[in-house]
Structure 1
Amino acid sequence: MTALVRIAHLSKSYRRGGQVVPVLHDIDLTVEAGDFLALMGPSGSGKSTLLNLIAGIDQPDSGELRVAGRDLAAMSETELARWRAASIGFVFQFYNLMPVLTALENVELPLLLAPLSRRERRARARLTLELVGLGGRLEHLPSELSGGQQQRVAIARAIVTDPLLIVADEPTGDLDRQSAADVLALLERFNRELGKTIVMVTHDALAAQHARTVVHLEKGELLRATA
């Protein structure tokens, strides 16, 4: 397999008031293309920070981080923004849907930066919603959808640009058990059938069972990876 994400000796800290608070220390991690990796650990272990670094939202203090061979630290803010829009699909715990837009319009949003006509954008968004089982909910607002349906809209929005990598931060944290199982099955299907590479932060051991690889963080240090 080909490494999509390569991390070597990565460290990250934040300044709070007059104090420097270390978050990640000397992290080495490789995510292979086509993997579904679950990043586990207790609250405050650095999971979301590592996810944000991989997605190019934040920058490490030291170490190397490459995604698809690109050194994210060498990119300008403008280059990073363009790269994220084209290469990363985001799935959040609380969906982050625009409440005044329909499901179709929410999924279409990431395509506004793509060189596509309005008709092409609409067609792709519609097909992607059908792929997640929401072909009959295209014109519904988020408030008219269940939590599980909203998260499926969020997943459709994440994959509509055909990104290199999907990053999911506690995607089932706000869902009931059945809705969570449906969302995880969907992510697993995209990984196995479409070859999508996924990095998912979760504290839920049942959610992690859907992944191919499980990585554990504790107090900012990588403990082990299991496949």
Structure 2
Amino acid sequence: MSASSDPLVRLCDVHKRYRRGNQLVPVLAGISFDIAAGEFLALMGPSGSGKSTLLNLIAGIDRADSGELIVAGEDITCLDEADLADWRAKNIGFIFQFYNLMPVLDARENVELPLLLTGLSGRERRARAEFALEMVGLADRMDHTPNELSGGQQQRVAIARALVSDPTLIVADEPTGDLDRDSATEVLRLLQRLNDEVGKTIVMVTHDQRAAEAAHAIMHLEKGELSVREVVRPR
């Protein structure tokens, strides 16, 4: 995406296939592109185009069959499972379509979850969680459980959880897909603010053109190949 010689994310000839019965089905076919630090990129494409697979590869959730994938200076294709898990915890913040919040925990406790294995004290974890919730406008909802929050508020809790460990990269998989229009607009504005004001790099998968237009650029995938890159907002 960027002409920079030192991108935050670099993919070089990345291939991915999945086994379906006795067949290997290609999903990504030689993907190569860069993402600059501070960019907000939307990935779009029809069902089965490979956009969620691409997001999972960038986040280290899945592994490429071949090619080079460098994120935050680390070639994650070379890491074993333990090192990859440690790398994800330090570098990636996840936002999911259906929030993935623990129903028995309040907002603060949900946001603290990524910090439980960091060695931080309980006081430090609590302070970080409260700061993250303040950043997303939920200072007055910290003690509420998910069923006491609207869909938009739950997604903001999920965004706070993604932010709490100060990740290098935020990956969002259909973050507005389960929200009404007003809540979706609120979440997109929040993501833009985190990108513009805090400088977070964001990669977002979406099927919604309106949501994609919140990004700096839109990358379209067709049958596992990049087809079009559309600039929405100059960086």
CA distance in 1, matches of 2:129, 2:7: 29
Runs (5+) with no aligned partner, structure 1: none
Tell me what 1:124 maps to: 128
4+ residue segments displaced more than 4 Å: none
Aligned length: 227
1:50 to 2:50 alignment: no
**Residue of structure 2 aligned with 1:41, choices 45, 49, 67:** 45
CA distance in 2, matches of 1:69, 1:131: 28
Tell me what 1:188 maps to: 192
The alignment's TM-score, normalised by the length of structure 2, stands at 0.95
**Residue of structure 1 aligned with 2:175, choices 153, 171, 175:** 171
User: How big is the shift at 1:113?
Assistant: 1.7
Counterpart of 1:16, as a letter, is R
**Structural mapping, 1:137-156, within 5 Å:** 137-156=141-160
Tell me what 1:226 maps to: 230
Tell me what 1:68 maps to: 72
Could you list the per-position Cα deviations for residues 129-168 of structure 1 after superposition, in whole angstroms to 9, with x for gaps in the alignment? 0110111111111011100000000000001000000000
CA distance in 1, matches of 2:192, 2:78: 33
CA distance in 1, matches of 2:206, 2:80: 30
**Structural mapping, 1:7-46, within 5 Å:** 7-46=11-50
CA distance in 2, matches of 1:124, 1:23: 39
Runs (5+) with no aligned partner, structure 2: none
**Structural mapping, 1:67-106, within 5 Å:** 67-106=71-110
Pairwise CA RMSD of aligned residues?
A: 0.8
CA distance in 1, matches of 2:229, 2:72: 21
* Partner SS for 2:197: helix
**Residue of structure 1 aligned with 2:165, choices 136, 161, 164:** 161
User: How big is the shift at 1:115?
Assistant: 2.8
* Partner SS for 2:116: helix
CA distance in 1, matches of 2:163, 2:100: 15
CA distance in 1, matches of 2:66, 2:103: 39
Tell me what 2:10 maps to: 6
* Partner SS for 1:3: coil
